């Protein structure tokens, strides 16, 4: 059982900057924190690879333990205003698309307090039907519902009204597609209330949730709605049926209509947390916990696929009861990074009773400077995409896809017990929709040493190898590259990737490509890299957005018509489908996936070209390369890449080795197959291979690619004394030399 967890406010920090650490203890009354430098995070006792170095720091010491709560679930909040406080009679309505109407009480639009009960709430009741609840603050509570359960994934016009003069409540739900006559006639229920509605002090207006108190006493939320809300309206009187229908279908905001209290247009400010009220009161608000925007509304026609081109048809927000952006924990301690702390991977190691956790972070060199000629580019955007990955725990075919029995670590069990910690972009929400956002502003159980050998911890095999060979390096991150572009890379002679730099934003891609065009030297020591376009936003720092469009290994399908990224308005999906395949950047791109066994490489005739001689210094002509390793027993495995001139592999690129020995469970990826047929696997298809590739760039630079996630896990074999480690070292040391790489003739 996990007993201690934490997270920092940033993953990348420079000397002179201050990090904040947020910690929660699950039982222990005290814990200890210490600064450590992470050298290799593989803690398998049979391999004896784990290395960390304790470092003096002002925060080292003991702290009182406390349990910190997380208020998961998205909603939108409009602060209290005089326009809300003076409300007596009212009509509240919206178009909704519920996805789990049978999941229990779910709020739609409310201004409510629990103790004493006061205000109003339009909601889905325990029976799955629309209901309106009002309370007078003195014990009088009235609720009226339609009694007809809503159907999942169908648009409804829902309305609730209260007439203060008659004390009559009315609630109406109408499915999209009803005749105009039915809409005007209404189908719902009405009931007389015992007392007038009392408005709840300074309570805000809330969409998709009700207010609540967390166990810590902080304000929070409950009764979250799963589904879309489009075009909510709040009127200052009880409307007739004809008026109700007219307001619902009228796209005009009616700014001068004195009956309008609020007319929210969720198609405005997509990509931010702002919601805009076009009514006369300008009751603007904010979303909480990153609900999904740029979503099809009730009036989507299908004529446009981009929310930028037809914003009036993308006026819905999709809320989820398990959305999470910022855990919002209080700070336990801080650390100002000293000027003399070398760039590297560090962690605040937390220990409580018999449990341990590392709050990992990266110390880059001073901004605008470099302290080494080599940089390790940490794939923090990819780490974020996989953060708190739980796909294998829920998919019924996971074991077939992974080719091994699903095994649970303590962190997996903890994530199942603590769903409030949020999901990865590989998972699905509780309503079955795909997760589009992942955040680092929460504990990320997949981002630490002593965790599974995927993502961050797999990259520490490369860090351990660099340390073993005495090769100095700086550490920079994806987020740094996104923010600073080519300027971040220019001080470096060479850059190393990790084993799996899968997710790339447009600024990251452009920065790396520009640096290579100016003579940079890149060693791509992984596979399945530079595959998916994703997005970061300065408006929502610390969050990643991903929408998987119509190709690739998607793990889950995207909602049709919602392929365009909210943060940037760009089309999501594979870089290959955007016309810029990884082959055009690093020579190779993903062709196959298989997790049960890895193959090895054989040198090709091109490896004896004088241009590639430095790569194979000390390597025999016939010896297999990487017929050993921690991942599947070989250096070519998990996810592998090969060349393709049609997709942009430079014509002068040398394929200096190719892999063999892949299992029947290694299959071509969907984007490599026009249709499914036999001979798709590694035992039968020669296209299932990794190509080790080298080519020069016009500015005197070069690119070396191994095209395999498993490569890094072969580096530690025999105390880092093996041909995988030797080839890697040959490349890095030559890349660090000043002598340019001349372009070949022809």
Whether the CB-CB separation of 706 and 686 falls below 8 Å is answered with: no
Residues 248 and 379 reside in one and the same domain = no
Rg (CA), the chain: 28
CA distance 196 to 156: 28
Residues 720 and 640 in one domain: yes
Could you write out the three-class secondary structure of 85-122? HCCCCEEEEEEEEECCCCCCCEEEEEEEECCCCEEEEE
The answer to whether the CB of 140 falls within 8 A of the CB of 195 is yes
Same-domain pairing of 536 and 620: yes
- Which of 280, 297, 319 is the endpoint of a domain? 319
pLDDT of res. 246: 83
Asked if residue 116 has a cis previous peptide bond (ω within 30° of 0), the answer is yes
> Strand (E) positions, 260-415?
260-265, 274-277, 285-288, 292-295, 316-319, 331-336, 344-352, 355-363, 374-378
State the Cα–Cα distance between residues 575 and 710, nearest whole angstrom: 23
CATH of the domain at 684: 3.40.50.880
Measured between alpha carbons, how far is 63 from 639 in angstroms, rounded to an integer? 43
> Using CA atoms, how far apart are residues 2 and 453, in angstroms rounded to an integer?
19
CA distances from 619 to 252, 606, 610 (A): 73, 14, 14
Please check whether residue 432 lies inside any domain of the structure: no
Last residue of a domain, one of 281, 299, 319: 319
Residue 258: what pLDDT?
Answer: 73
The answer to whether residue 528 sits within a structural domain is yes
Q: How far apart are CA 714 and CA 711, in angstroms?
A: 5
Q: Provide CB contacts within 8 A for 175, sequence distance 6+.
A: 151, 154, 155, 156
Instruction: Identify whether residues 380 and 269 lie together within a single domain.
Output: no
Pairing of strands 316-319, 227-235: antiparallel
CB atoms within 10 A of CB 277: 25
Question: Residue 577's Cα: distance from chain center in Å?
Answer: 21
Domain of residue 380 covers 374-386+455-735
Q: Quick count: other Cβ atoms within 10 Å of Cβ 327?
A: 22
Q: Are residues 379 and 296 in the same domain?
A: no
The reply to whether 276 and 382 lie within a common domain is no
- Name residue, tokens 């075919």: 397
Given a contact cutoff of 8 angstroms between Cβ atoms, the answer to whether 499 and 454 are in contact is no
Q: Are 528 and 590 in contact (CB under 8 A)?
A: yes
Q: Are residues 314 and 378 in the same domain?
A: no
pLDDT reported for residue 132: 96
Cβ atoms 24, 40 nearer than 8 A:
no
Whether 421 is in a domain gets the answer no
Distance, CA of 326 to chain centre: 13
- Residues 488, 476 contacting (CB under 8 angstroms): yes
Q: Give residue 682's pLDDT.
A: 62
Strands (E), 311-414: 316-319, 331-336, 344-352, 355-363, 374-378
Distances (CA, A) of 534 to 384, 566, 585: 11, 10, 17
Total tally of structural domains belonging to the chain:
2
Q: 50 burial class (0-12, 13-18, 19+ CB within 10 angstroms)?
A: middle
Residues of the chain with pLDDT under 70: 178-196, 251-256, 396-404, 675-684, 746
Supply the CATH number for residue 201's domain. 2.60.120.200
713 and 631 Cβ atoms separated by less than 8 Å: yes
The answer to whether residues 151 and 253 belong to one domain is: yes
DSSP 421-481: G---TTSB-TTSPBP-EEESSS--TTSSTTS-SSTHHHHHHHHHHHHHHT---EEEEHHHH
In 3-state terms, what secondary structure has residue 312?
helix
The pTM (predicted TM-score) of the whole model is 0.95
Is residue 746 assigned to a domain? no
| Structure confidence at residue 187 (pLDDT) | 57
**Contact criterion met (CB below 8 Å) for 158 and 180:** no
Q: Are residues 171 and 305 in the same domain?
A: yes
* DSSP letter assigned to residue 28: -
Do 711 and 617 lie in one domain? The reply is: yes
Interatomic CA distance for residues 14 and 237, integer angstroms: 57
Residue pair 260/246 in contact by the 8 Å Cβ criterion: no
Q: What is the DSSP letter of 420?
A: G
Is residue 8 a part of any domain in this protein?
A: no
The pLDDT of residue 406? 75
Residue 676: predicted pLDDT: 64
Q: What pLDDT was estimated at residue 190?
A: 62
Segment holding 247, helix H or strand E:
helix 241-249
Measured distance between the N- and C-terminal CA atoms of the chain, rounded to whole angstroms: 63
Q: Which two tokens stand for residue 649?
A: 């592999």
Residue 340 within any structural domain of the chain: no
d(CA 260, CA 263): 7
Tokens for 381, please give them.
């955007």
Distance CA 186, CA 179 (A): 10
**Tens digits of residue pLDDT in 604-617:** 999 999 999 999 99
Per the structure block, which two tokens stand in for 315?
Answer: 């006026």
The predicted structure's pLDDT at residue 522: 98
Distance, in Å, from the CA atom of 11 to the CA atom of 441, rounded to the nearest integer, reads 9
Instruction: Establish if 152 belongs to a structural domain.
Output: yes
Position 356 in a domain = no
Residues 531 and 667 in one domain: yes
Distance of CA 236 to the CA centre of its chain: 40
Instruction: Mark whether 236 and 313 lie in a shared domain.
Output: yes
């Amino acid at each position: 059982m996990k007993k201690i967890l934490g997270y920092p406010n940033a993953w990348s920090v420079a000397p002179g900057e201050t990090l904040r650490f947020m910690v929660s203890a699950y039982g222990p009354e005290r814990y200890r924190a210490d600064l450590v430098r992470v050298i290799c995070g593989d803690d398998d006792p049979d391999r004896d690879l784990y290395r960390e170095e304790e470092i003096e720091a002002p925060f080292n010491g003991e702290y009182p333990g406390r349990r910190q709560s997380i208020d998961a679930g998205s909603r939108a909040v409009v602060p209290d205003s005089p326009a809300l406080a003076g409300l007596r009679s009212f009509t509240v309505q919206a178009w909704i698309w519920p996805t789990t109407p049978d999941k229990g009480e779910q709020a739609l639009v409310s201004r409510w307090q629990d103790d004493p009960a006061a205000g109003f709430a339009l909601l889905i009741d325990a029976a799955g039907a629309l209901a309106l609840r009002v309370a007078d603050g003195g014990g009088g509570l009235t609720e009226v519902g339609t009694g007809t359960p809503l159907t999942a994934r169908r648009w409804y016009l829902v309305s609730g009204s209260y007439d203060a003069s008659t004390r009559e409540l009315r609630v109406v739900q109408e499915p999209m597609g009803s005749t105009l006559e039915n809409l005007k006639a209404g189908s719902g229920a009405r009931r007389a209330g015992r007392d007038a509605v009392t408005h709840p002090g300074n309570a805000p207006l809330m969409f998709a949730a009700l207010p609540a108190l967390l166990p810590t006493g902080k304000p929070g939320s409950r009764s979250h709605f799963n589904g879309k809300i489009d075009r909510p309206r709040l009127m200052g009187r009880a409307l007739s049926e004809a008026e109700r229908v007219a307001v619902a279908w009228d796209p005009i905001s009616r700014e001068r209509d004195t009956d309008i209290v609020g007319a929210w247009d969720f198609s405005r400010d997509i990509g931010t947390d702002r919601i805009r009220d076009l009514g006369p009161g300008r009751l603007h608000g904010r979303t909480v916990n990153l609900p999904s925007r740029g979503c099809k509304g009730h009036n989507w026609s299908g004529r446009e696929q981009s929310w930028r081109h037809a914003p009036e048809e993308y006026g819905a927000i999709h809320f989820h009861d398990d959305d999470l952006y910022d855990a919002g924990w209080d700070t336990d301690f801080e650390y100002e990074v000293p000027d003399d702390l070398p760039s590297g991977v560090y962690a605040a190691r937390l220990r409580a009773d018999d449990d341990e956790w590392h709050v990992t972070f990266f110390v880059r060199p001073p901004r605008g400077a470099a302290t080494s000629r080599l940089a390790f580019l940490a794939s923090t955007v990819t780490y974020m995409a996989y953060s708190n990955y739980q796909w294998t725990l829920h998919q019924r075919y996971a074991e077939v896809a992974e080719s091994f029995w699903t095994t649970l670590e303590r962190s997996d069990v903890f994530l199942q017990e603590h769903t409030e910690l949020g999901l990865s972009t590989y998972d699905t929400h509780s309503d079955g929709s795909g997760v589009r956002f992942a955040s680092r502003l929460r504990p990320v159980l997949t981002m630490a040493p002593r965790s599974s050998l995927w993502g961050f911890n797999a990259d520490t095999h490369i860090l351990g190898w660099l340390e073993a060979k005495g090769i100095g390096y700086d550490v920079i991150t994806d987020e740094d590259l996104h923010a600073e572009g080519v300027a971040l890379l220019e001080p470096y002679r060479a850059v190393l990737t990790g084993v799996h730099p899968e997710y790339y934003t447009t600024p990251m891609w452009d920065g790396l490509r520009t640096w290579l065009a100016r003579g940079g030297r890149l060693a791509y020591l992984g596979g399945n890299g530079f595959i998916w376009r994703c997005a970061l936003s300065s408006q929502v720092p610390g969050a990643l957005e991903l929408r998987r469009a119509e190709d690739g290994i998607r793990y889950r399908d995207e909602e049709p018509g919602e392929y365009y990224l909210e943060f940037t308005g760009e089309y999501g999906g594979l870089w290959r489908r955007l016309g810029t395949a990884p082959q055009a950047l690093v020579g190779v791109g993903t062709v196959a996936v298989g997790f049960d066994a890895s193959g090895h490489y054989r040198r090709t005739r091109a490896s004896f070209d004088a241009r590639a001689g430095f790569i194979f210094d000390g390597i025999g002509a016939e010896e297999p390369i990487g017929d050993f390793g921690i991942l599947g027993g070989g250096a070519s495995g998990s996810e592998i890449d090969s060349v393709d001139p049609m997709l942009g592999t430079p014509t002068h690129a040398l394929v200096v080795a190719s892999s063999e020995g892949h299992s029947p469970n290694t299959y071509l990826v969907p984007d490599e197959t026009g249709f499914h047929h036999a001979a798709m696997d590694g035992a039968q298809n020669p296209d299932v291979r990794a190509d080790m590739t080298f080519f020069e760039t016009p500015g005197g630079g070069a690119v070396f690619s191994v095209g395999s996630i498993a490569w890094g896990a072969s580096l530690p074999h025999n105390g880092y004394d093996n041909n995988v480690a030797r080839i890697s070292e040959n490349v890095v040391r030559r890349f660090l030399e000043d002598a340019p790489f001349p372009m070949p003739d022809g």
